[in-house]
């Protein structure tokens, strides 16, 4: 039996395919269209899922959409009526799109799916789940736990913004929820907007900026913006926000409370933005910890599953793990809306069809390597057509040449196997570097990624070596847990270095692996497992054998504003548009100096900054 899950029309559209309950393919539309956070119907992602399952639409038993548009429309109407006439401007702007497309998504979905089958409309079984049920299903059903508490936290679905669920075998029940407009995700997004970053994209930047600041405004947030209860439930004082009635996130009252207008995008970052970031991060951590304690008390479970955009806050997740409220936690790697495609399909398989789960102690996401892969002959054909000059190597030579480049402190593009599903590059579509280099972070940020210099990079480490370098000894395959570098790996700071503030702290080496050590000694750890990514594991093993260090810098293979690469052509274009010095695609190895100079590009200006 085949079930196709779809998330679309808001941001990060995606499709996922189940075959007899097994996730065989999942991908985001942005990777194919090269439009970041693409919200359109996932035409290309659906086509890929059908190809991966070697079927056409006539052979798909059910299609499941990840939320219920009429409930979402009801929320829009009721919000307008409750705030009228203040919200008329935003209501007037939203209505044409709703009336034209979103309100009648069933018809739209059938029409789009019909195009895949060569008909006017697809006539098969079309199901709808609620948004937070899809999130919860994406967290619990692929997890390795037979039963668990399930927390979902995001901006908003139909009405729900936060939910507590309880999963047992094939059963998943939502026990409690917090409803719009009271939203932890929207509170965090308000500070994303206020500190000058783009909502639904810049939340990572706020999280990365937080360690530079002090939580000076945390109490002000708790005293004014959010009424936080002991059980983690909360209400937001809507006088300080504008997302219900206006076109921005924060209101004039918010600006008066914090003493200034929002920072203009791309203007200099000051101590103030760093302190604001540290403050909202501290408040978010407190809310999630209280919710988790309540979830443990309410369900009695030893395990916790997480999904929703807030679950991508890996700093919160790391603290949750260290607090030991639960014995273990598991986070859906595509915790945002893209993962709703997987959750919707799984909700139908277990909830609608009543199929039992398969449990063997491992999760069912296959390392998140669920996207397209390219055969070696196809890679060579595509690179040749693009004008690339490459050398075809044996498997061992690929590893050896890549290690040589890394030891020489070169930035290496690494495209191998299936593309990752979710926002993280995990060794399938990555840019790699030597973490021991004191200049690698700055070089990668400014010359390769073209992004803000303060942003940290994540380490990949072999699972068997993680406890030798970081204060964590558990699986973290999806780069969703933050842990400190071990004390014995740290470098003590001198008095002058300790007195530095803000971005000046960035250039002080703090450990044996400075390129992946944030200013507070933390790191966003990815454990690499031989069974899910043997080639990347082999590269880390060879790097360790050469240097004694089983860690690499791993950042996504793209530049600022660009979706992560998908195809060999994408890899080559990004390679030629940046200062990446070597590129490995399958068994093809490319050096920048060998490439035709006329194929060089100015990549900086090709993508809208996020």
Active site residues per annotation: 11
**Sign of the torsion formed by the C-alpha atoms of 333, 306, 175 and 189:** negative
Q: How many CB atoms lie within 10 A of CB 395?
A: 10
Distance CA 497, CA 434 (A): 23
Q: Alpha-carbon distance 475 to 517, whole Å? A: 19
CA 234/CA 187 separation, integer angstroms: 11
Question: How remote is the C-alpha of 509 from its chain's centroid?
Answer: 28
From residue 344, alpha-carbon distances to 146, 355, 596 in Å are 19, 14, 47
CB 319 within 8 A of CB 479: no
Contact at 8 Å (CB) between 536 and 520? Answer: no
Cα–Cα distance between 315 and 319 in angstroms, integer? 6
264 CB-contact burial (10 Å; exposed 0-12 / middle 13-18 / buried 19+)? exposed
Order the strands of the 588-591 sheet from edge to edge: 391-392, 588-591, 582-585, 412-415, 429-433, 551-556, 458-462, 522-528, 481-484
CA distance 248 to 193: 8
Which residues does 485 contact at the CB level (< 8 Å), separation at least 6?
469, 470, 471, 510, 511, 513, 517, 521, 522, 523
List the structure tokens of 183. Answer: 């939203």
Contact 372, 32 (CB under 8 A): no
**Alpha-carbon gap, residue 610 to 605, rounded angstroms:** 12
Q: What is the DSSP string of 123-192?
A: -SEEEE--HHHHHHHHHHTTSS-SEEEEEEE-S-SSSEEEEEEEEETTEEEEEEEEETT--HHHHHHHHH
200/193 Cα distance (integer angstroms): 10
């Amino acid at each position: 039996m085949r079930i196709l899950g779809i998330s679309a029309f808001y941001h990060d559209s995606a499709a996922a395919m189940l075959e007899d309950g097994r996730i065989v393919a999942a991908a985001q539309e942005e990777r194919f269209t090269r439009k970041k956070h693409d919200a359109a119907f996932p035409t290309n992602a659906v086509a890929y899922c059908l190809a991966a399952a070697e079927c056409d639409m006539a052979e798909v038993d059910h299609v499941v959409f990840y939320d219920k548009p009429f409930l979402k429309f009801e929320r829009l109407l009721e919000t307008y009526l409750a705030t009228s006439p203040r919200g008329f401007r935003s209501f007037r702007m939203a209505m044409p799109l709703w009336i034209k497309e979103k309100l009648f998504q069933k018809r739209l979905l059938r029409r789009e799916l019909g195009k895949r089958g060569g008909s006017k409309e697809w006539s098969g079984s079309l199901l709808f789940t609620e948004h937070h049920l899809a999130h919860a299903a994406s967290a619990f059903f692929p997890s390795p736990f037979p039963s668990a508490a399930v927390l979902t936290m995001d901006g908003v679905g139909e009405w729900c913004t936060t939910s507590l669920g309880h999963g047992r075998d094939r059963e998943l029940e939502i026990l409690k929820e917090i409803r719009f407009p009271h939203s932890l995700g929207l509170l965090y997004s308000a500070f994303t907007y206020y500190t000058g970053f783009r909502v639904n994209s810049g939340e990572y930047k706020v999280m990365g900026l937080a360690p530079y600041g002090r939580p000076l405004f945390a109490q002000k947030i708790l005293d004014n913006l959010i009424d936080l209860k002991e059980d983690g439930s909360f209400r937001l004082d809507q006088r300080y926000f504008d997302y219900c009635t206006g076109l921005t996130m924060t209101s004039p009252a918010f600006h008066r409370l914090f003493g200034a207008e929002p920072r203009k995008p791309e203007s200099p970052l000051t101590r103030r933005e760093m302190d604001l970031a540290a403050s909202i991060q501290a408040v978010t951590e407190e809310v999630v910890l209280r919710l988790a304690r309540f979830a443990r008390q309410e369900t009695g479970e030893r395990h916790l599953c997480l999904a929703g955009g807030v679950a991508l806050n890996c700093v919160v997740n790391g603290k949750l793990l260290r607090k030991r409220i639960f014995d273990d936690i598991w986070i859906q790697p595509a915790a945002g809306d893209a993962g709703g495609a997987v959750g919707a399909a799984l909700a139908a398989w277990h909830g609608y069809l009543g199929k039992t789960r398969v449990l063997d102690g491992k999760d069912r996401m296959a390392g998140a390597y669920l996207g397209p892969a390219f055969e070696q002959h196809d890679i060579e054909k595509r690179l040749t057509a693009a004008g690339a000059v490459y050398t075809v190597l044996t498997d061992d030579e690929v590893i050896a040449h890549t290690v040589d480049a890394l030891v020489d402190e070169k930035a290496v593009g690494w495209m191998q196997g299936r593309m990752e599903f979710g926002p993280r590059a995990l060794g399938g579509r990555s840019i790699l570097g030597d973490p021991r280099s004191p200049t690698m972070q700055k070089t990668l940020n400014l010359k390769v990624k073209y992004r803000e210099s303060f942003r940290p990079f994540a380490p990949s480490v072999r699972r068997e070596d993680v406890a030798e370098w970081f204060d964590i000894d558990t699986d973290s395959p999806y780069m969703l847990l933050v842990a400190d570098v071990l004390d014995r790996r740290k470098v003590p700071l001198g008095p002058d270095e300790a007195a530095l503030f803000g971005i000046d702290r960035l250039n002080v080496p703090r450990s044996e692996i400075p390129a992946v050590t944030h200013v507070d000694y933390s790191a966003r750890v990815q454990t690499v497992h031989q069974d899910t990514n043997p080639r990347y594991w082999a590269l880390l093993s060879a790097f360790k054998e050469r240097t004694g260090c089983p860690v690499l810098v791993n950042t996504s293979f793209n530049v600022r504003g660009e979706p992560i690469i998908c195809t060999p052509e994408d890899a080559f274009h990004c390679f030629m548009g940046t200062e990446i010095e070597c590129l490995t695609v399958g068994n093809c190895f490319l050096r920048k100096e060998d490439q035709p100079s006329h194929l060089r590009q100015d990549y900086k200006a090709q993508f809208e900054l996020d």
